[in-house]
Amino acid sequence: MKLGIFYSDLRGNHDMLFRLKGEKIGVFLVGNGIYHATIKEKGEPSPILQKKEIDYYVLSEDLSTRGFSTDEVDSDIKVITYSDLTDLIMNDYDKLAWL
């Protein structure tokens, strides 16, 4: 199964994220979830970004709404538009979940 996960919390419990299994997992950082892509705590990236076998995406529109530029995004995360998001969820992922 190819699983796409929408993650919109800054301080949510991300243990569930690490328990999900699939042949391909993509995490879409949306809403306040974009802070995981931009802010470091004590010089370290967000714990959500620890699993290297996950594809991470962040919406450019949500970044700009919150005053961030694409230059501030962690290098392991792909910046996408709503159009890119639509293509990804229609073509690359079988199931979708919201955490």
- The CATH number assigned to the domain holding 75 equals 3.40.1260.10
- Say if residue 12's pLDDT is above 70: no
Summary count for the chain: helices (H), strands (E):
4, 5
Question: What is the distance between the alpha carbons of residues 98 and 76, in angstroms, rounded to a whole number?
Answer: 21
Domain limits for position 66: 2-98
Span 30-34, average pLDDT:
93
Tell whether the model's pLDDT for residue 57 goes beyond 90.
yes
Counted domains in the chain: 1
Per the listing, tokens 């994220």 go with 17
Residue that wins the pLDDT comparison between 51 and 59: 59
What is the C-alpha separation between 48 and 36, in angstroms, rounded? 7
Helices (H), the chain: 15-19, 35-38, 60-65, 82-91
pTM: 0.90
